[in-house]
Chain A
Amino acid sequence: MALWKHEKKTSENSGHRGEIFSLVGPLFLWMLLFLALPLVYVIIISFLEKGVYGGVQMIFTLENYTALWNPTYGKVIWRSIVLAFWTSLICLFVSYPFAFILSRFSKKYQGFCVLLIMLPFWINQLIRLNGWSNILRDSGTINTILLKLGIISEPITMMYTDGATLFGMVYALLPFMVLPLNNSISKLDYSLIEAAHDLGASRLSTFFRVILPLTLPGIFAGTIQVFIPSLDAFYIADVMGGGNSTLLGNLIKDQFMAARNWPSGAAFSVILILFTLIVLKLYTKVGNLEDLA
């Protein structure tokens, strides 16, 4: 009986072909067929002409990409990026002090407090967003209370605006920022902070020169995990922004489902993929991909 331990490092395990294939083969074929092939197909579609009744025609064209220079589309892409940027920034500023406070809770409650961050994941996002919409809309809880108290005479419009979309994004994605930050911050070695104090560093410079650099991995991992989903979460823009905020995600969805212009939708998707890859490439310069899972 061969012991695989000794053979692990020889790259060609010729005696184990069958075994490797039966263990890894099914998943490999699955990912090839249902992930790699579809992604390649989308890239191909983006260079084809659209069919008369939806679908595609096998004619090569660059039109789907040149159409991207259309200012209407450019505006949507720019808005999505700006919104994703603000979502990440707000999540970061809200989460950082929060994660810091969490890390200082006594060990007994810390696990429970982290669990409380994850628990909402088990309840459908759309239902939770709808809960906010009931609170924020013109006839919602906040406006009703303010009207009854006589503080305002007209309801304040909060829902179905770009601000509401941003609010919904921050709400839905905040835990993705808190968790990696909390991971990073709870690993902080307090003796380093004390050393900085002893050496006469002010609180501010201790923060910027010791604490911040040490928690950067959490900041990067959290930012990526908020930034990328906020580019494609079309349902948040739909539910919170009404029809008023069209983002890249909504555009792709509409090209596929409503306009039935698949090649154009595919071209936008390729842009989205490229954009994601650029962001990830930048990230690998400063962080580890494994921290993202």
Chain B
Amino acid sequence: MKRKEKKQLGALSYLYAGLVYLFLYLPIFMVVGYSFNTNDNNLVFKGFTLRWYSSMFSNRSLMSSLVLTLELALVSTAISVVLGTLAAIGMHRYDFKLKKTLDNMLYVPIVIPELVIGIASLATFTMLNITLSFWTLVIAHVTFCVPFVIITLRARIAGFDKSIEEAAMDLGANQFRTLRRVTIPMLMPGIISGALLSITLSLDDVIISYFVTGAGDTTLPIKVYGMARGKISTEVYALFTLIILVTILLYLLFMGIKAASAKRQK
């Protein structure tokens, strides 16, 4: 056997990897392409236009879905981060009787089919006579986002130097001050990645939202689900192309900040 083949990749390997990427990205290219199409039937590319990008903003129902989806993601992420950070710190510091129970409850939304959480929430809201609204969406989203926030944080807490917190307390800082000035800043990178994960999950959720959404509150994924069996309006393609663009820009910005702060630390 030739030893040197270890690091060499043949042309076939590159071709295969390329095909898998094509499989993942082809439909995205289609969506971007159609968004510039003068022809509204999504079939034949007739000519280039930016018409859908301007008409999209006057499509009130589309815009209100967009705003609702963003609000939902931000509100439920904020709640998830607060609940999750406090609990992650508490679970790291102390042993208590119900710790195992809480641990198990946190695994449930990760492993159980989302559909079950959706119908369970719907049934419970109905039993408690709670009208479906923006807030029922928030409750359901927090419930499935929180475990992911905690798991992200735990990885961070595990490599935590406790002596810094102890030093703060020895120097006379009280519990709250230590939490605010020492613990939370040290956890910040974990909190940010947990929040990003939570936003991603919330923005893309179809199944759970489908069951707990109120009559007037349609999130963007639910709206697309409603259209997806028939024809999706070209304005929706334009909106998602913009979302793709914003996502990439945000990512580059994020990487830029990360690189800059790494440089400063040196």
Contact = CB atoms under 8 A, between A and B. Distances in A.
B110 A293 contact: yes
Nearest to A190: B6
Contact of A238 (B28, B93, B229, B240): B229
Interface string B34-68: 10000000111000000000000000000000000
B93 A4 contact: yes
Contacts of A266: 119, 123
A161 interface: no
B83 A30 contact: yes
Among B91, B115, B236, chain A packs the most CB atoms within 10 A around the CB of B115
Contact of B115 (A4, A101, A269): A269
Contact of B140 (A27, A34, A126): A34
A31 B106 contact: yes
Given A27-B86, A35-B109, A101 B16 contact: yes
B253 interface: no
A276 interface: yes
A198 to B, nearest CB: 9
B115 A232 contact: yes
Interface string A41-58: 110010000000001000
Nearest to A22: B86
Interface stretch (A62-70, A133-141, A149-157, A210-218): A133-141
A176 B117 CA distance: 20
Contacts, number: 263
B76 to A, nearest CB: 12
Interface string A1-37: 1011101111111001001101110111011101111
Contact of B207 (A20, A97, A128, A233): A233
Contacts of B27: 128-132, 134-135, 171
A210 B5 CA distance: 18
A89 interface: no
Contact of A101 (B17, B93, B113): B17
Contacts of B44: 144
Nearest to A122: B247
Nearest to A178: B20
Interface residues of B, number: 92
Interface string A99-128: 001101100000001001101111111111
B266 interface: no
Interface string B3-33: 1001101000110110011011111111100
Contacts of A273: 112-113, 116
A144 B94 contact: no
B110 A5 contact: no
A131 B28 contact: yes
A235 B225 contact: yes
Nearest to A279: B111
A158 interface: no
Nearest to B179: A23
B225 A41 contact: no
Interface residues of A, number: 100
B30 A13 contact: no
B186 interface: no
Interface SS of A by simple majority: helix
A81 interface: no
Contacts of B6: 190, 193-194
Given A32-B105, A234-B207, A266-B123, A24 B96 contact: yes
Interface string A232-258: 111100110010000001001100110
Nearest to B20: A98
A229 interface: yes
Contacts of B229: 238-239, 242
Contacts of A228: 111-113
Contacts of A272: 113, 115-116
A8 B94 CA distance: 5
Given A135-B26, A135-B27, A273-B116, A42 B146 contact: no
Contacts of A123: 28, 31, 240, 243-244, 247
A76 interface: no
A171 B23 contact: yes
A224 B117 CA distance: 18
B20 A269 contact: no
A28 B84 CA distance: 10
Contacts of A117: 24
Q: Report, nearest first, the 6 A-B pairs whose CB atoms are least far apart.
A: A131-B27, A23-B90, A38-B120, A232-B113, A27-B87, A24-B90
Interface of B: 1, 3, 6-7, 9, 13-14, 16-17, 20-21, 23-31, 34, 42-44, 83-84, 86-87, 89-91, 93-98, 102, 105-117, 119-124, 126-127, 139-140, 142-143, 146-148, 151, 162, 166, 169-170, 175, 200, 203-204, 206-207, 210-211, 220-221, 224-225, 228-229, 232, 236-237, 240, 243-244, 247
9 contacts: A1-B169, A5-B166, A31-B143, A34-B124, A101-B14, A135-B30, A193-B6, A228-B113, A293-B148
Given A34-B121, A132-B26, A144-B44, 4 more contacts: A39-B116, A42-B116, A55-B126, A174-B23
